[in-house]
Structure 1
Amino acid sequence: MIKFNRRQTLGLLGAAAATGLAAPAIAQNKKIVVGALRFTSHSGSFVAVERGYFADAGLDVELRFFQAAQPMAVAIASGDVDYAVTAVSGGLISLADKGAIKVIGGALSEEPGIDGQKILASNAAFEAGLTSPAQLGGKKFGISNAGSSFHYMGSRVAQAENAEMSFTPLQKVGAIIGALKSGQIDAWSIQPHIASALAGSGAVQVIGKISDYLPNYQVTTVFTSAKNASDEREQTSDFLKGFSNGVADYTAAMIDKTGGEEGVNEMVDLIHKYVYADRPREKAAPSIIKGAMRINKDARLNIASVQDQLSWFQSEGLVDNDITLDTFVDTSYVETYKA
């Protein structure tokens, strides 16, 4: 009996389609736009494009890049983008409350035992005594905007440490990095591929881990327009299929390391086309490797973490108290769990 690996099987299916032997999804060739950030955590989409998993699902995908979560949510609501992966934010929840968008799955997660998001201090603040999150009282914490995931993480850390600190909105990740390097803000939290690069260059100091405060944090979610979720169910399922296949390859290579060093290097080459593409591969690779975090298999969604985030936004007066999970989450597409 001849056995085929996954790639060979997909190749045979493609050949069957070419000869007219049934592949209605491929024949659709639907053009869709997928929003992304140039973060290692968006590798599921990158792999699905590069290895043809979206195409195999019948989707002609264009990646569109953003510099923060909020503009991506607005682009989904306006119809400029069809699907995206981003953190839960006050803006996203408010757009869902208006009937514009729906979360349909989970992506990046904090997981015990896997290096996750770091809490950083500016060199100036570190030298002045900010050597752990316990000293955040009275400090300035950088965020993109009020109601962002940075705001949520910083607030949860401050609450746990009983520290009163202020939040400085700077709109874009690049602006936050500049402010942290120059000492205009004292602290920030960010995914490890950025944190490790900054700390490795001596520009900032690592003073803690988000997983110590939010051990099972559902960092990012997969979302789409409410119209796509309700009226384009086949297309939405096809998107999740392609995305999940990309995630499976990424996880096998970067987290479980089933392909050994060769598998890691092959995946780094792919990701480098999108992350730190302006740097030589040898300089980008260490940050990409250190930035590898778990992305949920089959887009499973940690509904307990999403509920905690919603409750925090409501407690801060950033979204309406009448909003429920059903308002902005469609649980019909993927498995949900509580952790």
Structure 2
Amino acid sequence: MTTTNRRAVLAGLGAATAAPFILPRRARAAGTPIKVGILHFTSHAPAMIAKARGYFADQGFDVSFVGFQAAQPMAVAIASGDVDFGMTAISGGLVSLAQKGAVKIIGGALQEHKGIEGQKILASKKAYDAGLKTPEDLKGHSFGLTSAGSSFNYMADMIARKAGFPSSDIRFVPLQKVPAIIASLKSGQIDAWSIVPNIADALAKGGSVVEIGKISDYIPDYQVTTVFTSAKNADHKPEVVKRYLAALSKGIDDYNNALVYKKADAKEVDEVVKIIHEYVYSSMPLEKAAPRIQHGAMLVNPGAAITMSSVRSQLEWLQGANMAPKDVTMDQLVKSGYVKEL
């Protein structure tokens, strides 16, 4: 799909996709408890907004959030039933759980789009001063990961491929949690990393980290994160899944309009930022956190639409790198029919 056509499709999603399932008032009052996994990133704002503005309650849910610091633990929590829904990157662990019939992807979330701010490639100031000026210079340098098979691993591998050298020429350093990667990059213990723009820009402003490139130049239309749930929900509780996606989609619309499309008025932007601030940069004053939250927000696909070609590419990469079972199929990984496929 061309960029122009993709944008037209995305523009047409949202409100039409967001409310395919509306409960009667009596049913909405029940408030079925569900747990939603989040990372404390701006990219998880749609769920935060949907809870704060009653969109989940309107669909009959009483939502509580469970915080994580990496993608794989969230996938494990959903597989075990400790969490009902999540939004995070595709990892080797997620694919393995899908093969076992434990989890299913049901939609798309954060995605790279040309012309819209996206994930940035960073170098420590120490490595930058030593010659790491562009992503093509990554050969021979270290790159931070949460774990092998994570989205960070995938991004670095794709950079290496486009730059014309094997990813084995990069020294990958698994550090388990995002805060640990940030600390290692700032101190120069690792040379490079890639992350969403609000975190990247905050790090670059500190002086110990330098931006050296953009992921969209290396992985066009990259489906960075997906929405997923247990296979039990996806296969046997379609009404629950539809209601969840309907509420989440309204949160996506509010987030995109305020921070990505910039269609909202100042009052609406302030309200959205205040909601996000309860979970993101909550340890700093709102006036300091607000610019970080607003700047560089990435597009979350309206209606939780999903780019299947990107999901397939990630699955094939994981299998080719022996980080996921080779016999896992797209049907095992993704439950089609809930959202628009781009």
TM-score normalised per structure 1:
0.91
Matched, 1:313 2:318: yes
Where does 1:217-232 land on structure 2 (aligned, <5 Å)? 217-232=222-237
Partner of 1:279: 284
Partner of 2:4: none
Q: Aligned to 2:158, what secondary structure does the other structure show?
A: helix
2-structure distance, mates of 1:327, 1:24: 36
Where does 1:111-190 land on structure 2 (aligned, <5 Å)? 111-163=113-165, 164-190=169-195
Partner amino acid for 1:113? G
Partner amino acid for 1:258? K
Q: Aligned to 1:188, what secondary structure does the other structure show?
A: strand
Give the deviation of 1:262 after TM superposition: 3.2
Where does 1:62-81 land on structure 2 (aligned, <5 Å)? 62-81=64-83
2-structure distance, mates of 1:64, 1:319: 26
Partner of 1:270: 275
Partner of 2:255: 250
- Do the aligned residues in 2 keep the contact of 1:115 with 1:290 (CA within 8 Å)? no
Partner amino acid for 2:142? K
Q: Aligned to 2:317, what secondary structure does the other structure show?
A: helix
2-structure distance, mates of 1:178, 1:228: 38
2-structure distance, mates of 1:90, 1:116: 23
**Residue 292 and residue 189 in structure 1: after superposition, are their counterparts in 2 closer, same or farther (change >3 A)?**
same
Partner amino acid for 1:181? K
2-structure distance, mates of 1:24, 1:245: 21
Partner of 2:18: none
2-structure distance, mates of 1:291, 1:323: 35
Q: Aligned to 2:280, what secondary structure does the other structure show?
A: coil
- Do the aligned residues in 2 keep the contact of 1:39 with 1:275 (CA within 8 Å)? yes
Partner of 1:3: none
- Do the aligned residues in 2 keep the contact of 1:122 with 1:205 (CA within 8 Å)? yes
Matched, 1:44 2:49: no
Partner amino acid for 1:106? G
Deviations for 1:25-45, whole angstroms, at most 9, x for unmatched residues? 304421100000000000110
Give the deviation of 1:68 after TM superposition: 0.5
Matched, 1:207 2:212: yes
Partner amino acid for 2:96? S
Q: Aligned to 1:224, what secondary structure does the other structure show?
A: strand
Partner of 2:9: none
Deviates more, 1:182-191 or 1:285-294: 285-294
Give the deviation of 1:331 after TM superposition: 0.7
Match of 1:109 among 102, 108, 111: 111
Q: Which runs of 4+ in 1 moved over 4 A?
A: none
Match of 1:288 among 290, 293, 296: 293
Whichever of the two has the greater Rg, that structure is: 1
Q: Aligned to 2:105, what secondary structure does the other structure show?
A: strand
Give the deviation of 1:285 after TM superposition: 1.4
Deviations for 1:287-324, whole angstroms, at most 9, x for unmatched residues? 11123110011111100100010011011011122111
Matched, 1:239 2:244: yes
Partner amino acid for 1:280? P
Matched, 1:197 2:202: yes
Matched, 1:322 2:327: yes
Partner amino acid for 2:306? L
Give the deviation of 1:273 after TM superposition: 1.0
Partner amino acid for 2:239? E
Deviates more, 1:318-327 or 1:87-96: 318-327
**Residue 27 and residue 283 in structure 1: after superposition, are their counterparts in 2 closer, same or farther (change >3 A)?**
closer
How high is the sequence identity, in percent, across the aligned residues? 54
RMSD of Structure 2 on Structure 1 (CA)? 1.3
2-structure distance, mates of 1:136, 1:267: 38
| Number of positions where the alignment pairs a residue of Structure 1 with one of Structure 2 | 318
2-structure distance, mates of 1:329, 1:136: 33
Give the deviation of 1:24 after TM superposition: 4.3
Deviates more, 1:298-307 or 1:284-293: 284-293
- Do the aligned residues in 2 keep the contact of 1:244 with 1:297 (CA within 8 Å)? yes
- Do the aligned residues in 2 keep the contact of 1:37 with 1:67 (CA within 8 Å)? yes
1-structure distance, mates of 2:244, 2:27: 11
- Do the aligned residues in 2 keep the contact of 1:257 with 1:263 (CA within 8 Å)? no
2-structure distance, mates of 1:181, 1:289: 23
Give the deviation of 1:46 after TM superposition: 0.3
2-structure distance, mates of 1:27, 1:136: 55
Matched, 1:60 2:81: no
Q: Aligned to 1:301, what secondary structure does the other structure show?
A: coil
Match of 1:298 among 293, 303, 323: 303
TM-score normalised per structure 2:
0.91
1-structure distance, mates of 2:331, 2:323: 18
Deviations for 1:119-165, whole angstroms, at most 9, x for unmatched residues? 00001000001011011110000000000000001111111112321
Partner amino acid for 1:59? F
